Amino acid sequence: MRGLGLQVLALCLQVAAPSTPLSHVDQYEVVWPQRLPAAPRARRALPSHLDLYPETVSYILGTQGHNFTLHLRKNRDLVGSGYTETYRAANGSQVVEHPQRQGHCFYQGHVEGHQHSAASLSTCAGLRGFFWAGSDVHLIEPLDGDGEEGQHALYRAEHLQQKAGTCGVSNTSLEKALGPRILAAFRPQSWPLSRDTRFVELYVVTDSAEFQRLGSRGAVRSRVMEVVNHVDKLYQELNFRVVLVGLEMWNHKDQIHVSSNPDVTLDNFLRWRTQNLVGRHQHDNAQLITGVEFTGTTVGLAKVAAVCSQDSGAVNQDHNLENPIGVASTMAHEMGHNLGMDHDENIQGCYCPVPREGGGCIMAASIGARFPRMFSQCSRADLEMFMEKPRTACLANAPDPSRLVGDPVCGNLFVERGEQCDCGPPQACRNPCCNATTCQLSAGAQCAQGACCRSCRVTPAGELCRPPKDACDLEEYCDGQQPVCPEDVFQENGTPCPGGYCYNGVCPVLARRCQDLWGLGSRVAVETCYTYSISPGCQGGLAHGSSRVNNCGILYCEGGQKPLKRSYCTLTSHAGTCKALVLEGGAGYEPVPEGTKCDLLERTLPAPASLQIQKLLRPVQQPWGVQPQGRVSLPPGLGAAPLHRAAAPRAHRVQEPPGGRAGICGAAGRSPGRSGLLPEGPAPRLWEEHGAQDCQGALQPPVPRGARCASQGWGSSPDHPLQRARRAHSLYSDP
C-alpha cells in the first residue's frame, strides 16, 4: 500500500498545471487519484449490471505534503423511493416524474489514519466534493473531464473564492429569548441526544436563475444531490439523517417572486409551500436554492424552530457556481435554524471546538474562509430542547424501509429489510446488543435500541417511556411488545391548562409571551391598549382608539428591559404604556399568538382619545460582525418575522364552567391541529366561528358541537364531529 502511494505521488509531481487555470480558486495542486482494487467480500447490493457504481470504493490522493487514502461507501439512503422530480414542459404544463430505482454516484466516508475525519464526494464524472483530515478542509474537482483517475484540482477551502456570507434569521417563532442568552450553568456540558435516529424528509426547489446557470435538468439534479449528500453527512453527528424525497425545478418560470430581498423571498416561498406543495407531496422540510444574489452579505434566511409547521423551510443563495459546498453549508445552517438552533454568537459561553480560522461551527452567524464541519455544544443544547416539544414528532417517523432506494446495506444507521438493527460501521458501533457486521441482534438480545429497550431486553408493559413535558402533553407507556415508545400524542385542543387552553400541543399565555419578547419584568399591557390600532411602521403619528377591545390583534406589553434586535412602537396614556414590536419590513406588528385565551364577556370601554405615537424606536445600530461581548449585531429587519396568520382571524370558543366565558384566538384557514388520546370522560366542547375579528366579536348563540358556519353567518352544513385521537405527526400529512 505504501509503495503504491509513493508511486502516485511521483506521478502527481510530474503533472504540469492545466492550460486553463481555475478562475474560482486562488491556488491548487494537480493530483491523479488512484483507485484501489476492491477487496472480495460478500455484500448485499444491486448486481453490477444494474449499478454502474460500486457499493464501496477507495482512492489514494498523493500530494506534495501528504498521501490521503479515502474510504467511501455509497449513500444508499440519500433518496427515498417516493422521490419525485417536478418541472415544466415547453407549453408550461407541470410534469411530475417518478424515476425508477437506479444506482447513483454519491458517497460518504472517512480518511484513513485520521480519527476525526469525514468525506462527502461524488464519482459521477471524476471525483468532486470535500474531505477533512485534522484541521484542514480539502476540496477536489476534476480538470478537463479526464474521469476519476485523470487530472484533478485539490485545494484547501480557504483558497476557494466565494461571497462572504452571513445569515439573516427570521425568528418570531423562536420560543426563547430574542436577545443574547447564557448557556445554562447547571445543565451537563455533554448534551446527550436521543438514541433514536431522527429523519428529515427534505424537498428541494431550484428557481429559474439557478436552472439558467446550470443549463439542464441533469446538471441541477447532480448538484442538488451533491448538496444534500453533504448536508446529510454533517447531520449524522447529531444522529439525524436527511433524505431527499422531492426535487422541483422551476426551469421556465418561477412560481413565486424571487427577490434580492431575502425576507421577501422567504415569505413568498413559505406561502407557496403552504398553498401549493404541502397538499401534493409529503415532506418535513423544504429548501429553496436560488441563483439570485441577495442584497448585502446575506446568503440564507430561515424561520427558527419551525420544523413540522407551515414555516418549515428556508431560502439559500447558491453563491459559488463552481463548487456546491458553499450552498450546502448554507443549507445545513438554515436547516439548523428550522430545528431550533440559534447563532452561536448569541449565546454567552458557547463553546465551538473548532476555531474560526479553522472553519468554526455550522451555526456561526457568518461563513469564514473555511467551511464549518461540526455543530457546537450550544447547537446541540438548542436541538435537544427543541426536540422535547410535542410538535417535533414528525421527525420521529423513520422512512419505511420499502421507501428507500437501493437494497439493504448494513452499517448505514437505517434498519432496512432483513435487518434487526443497524448501529453503523463496525469501527463506530458501540451497541453491545447489535452485531455491526451482520446487522442482526446479538445472541440472546431481544432489541438493540429504543426507549423501551433496556439491557437488550424489551421492558414490561406499562412502564413509563415518555413523561409529559407540560400540561398539554400526555405520557406514553411501553406496550411490552415493541422496543420503541409509542408515538407522541398531546391533549385535545381546548383542554384547560394553567392560564389558558391547550392549542396544538402548547399552552399559549399572553404574559409568558410578553416575557419571551421583552424579558423578565414584562407583563401584558393594560386593557385600554387593546382598543388602539396603529398604522404599519408607526406611520401617521396617531394611534386611533375604539370602544371595542380587540383581544386577538396586536400584542401590547409593558415593562421589560431585554436588548432587542427589532424596532417597536410605544404609546403612553394615563392608563399605562403600550409597546408593540414591528414586524419585518414594517408591514405590521407582533400579533397575539394563535390559541391564546381571550375574554368573551359582553362589554365595551369608553372610546379613548387618539394618542401621539412616540418616534419609531430601533435597536442600537452597529456594523455587522462580532462585537467585543461575542454577540452578532443585526441590522433592522433581520430580526423576527410574523407567524403565519390569515387576513381574517376567527375565534374558537371553549365551554367553560358556569360563571366564565372564554375563547381562543385563531386564524382562518388553520386546522385545529393534532391532538392526542384523552382519558375516558367528558371532553371540553370546541366550536369554530368564522369571520370573527376577535373574541369580543365572536359571540354567537350556542350551536351543536362540531357544527360548521358559512361565510355570511351560521349555515346548515352537516355535523362534523371533532376527532379525539389525532396523532402528532407533521401538520400536513393528513389526506
Residues of the binding site for Zn(2+): 333, 337, 343
Give DSSP secondary structure letters for 550-562: -TTSB--EE----
Residue 450 to residue 448: CA distance in whole angstroms: 7
660 close to 653: Cβ distance less than 8 angstroms: no
Using the Cα atoms of residue 200, residue 206, residue 211 and residue 212 in order, give the sign of their dihedral. Answer: negative
Residue type present at position 390: P
Cell numbers linked to 593: 399568538
11 Cβ partners below 8 Å, 6+ apart?
32, 62
**Closest to 421 measured CA to CA, from 400, 458, 449, 454:** 449
Q: How far apart are CA 690 and CA 706, in angstroms?
A: 13
Amino acid identity, position 461:
A
> How far is C-alpha 343 from the chain's CA centre?
14
Residues in the chain: 735
- The helix (run of H) or strand (run of E) holding residue 59 is strand 56-62
Q: Which amino acid is it at 317?
A: Q
* SS3 at position 222: helix
Determine whether 590 is an active site residue. Answer: no
Catalytic residue, candidates 334, 492, 584, 689: 334
Please enumerate, by residue number, every residue annotated as part of a binding site.
333, 337, 343
Beta 347-348 vs 181-182: how paired, if at all? parallel
Q: Is 513 helix (H, G, I), strand (E, B) or coil?
A: helix
In DSSP notation, 127-140 reads: -EEEEEETTEEEEE
Residue showing cell 436552472: 211
Closest CA to 433 of 460, 415, 455: 455
Please name which of 168, 3, 203 lies closest in space to residue 639, comparing C-alpha atoms. 168
Measured CA distances, 101 to 50, 95, 229, 243, 712 (Å): 10, 19, 18, 15, 52
**Angle, vertex CA 81, rays to CA 78 and CA 85, nearest 5:** 85
Residue 635 burial by Cβ neighbours in a 10 Å radius (0-12, 13-18, 19+): middle
Catalytic annotation, residues: 334
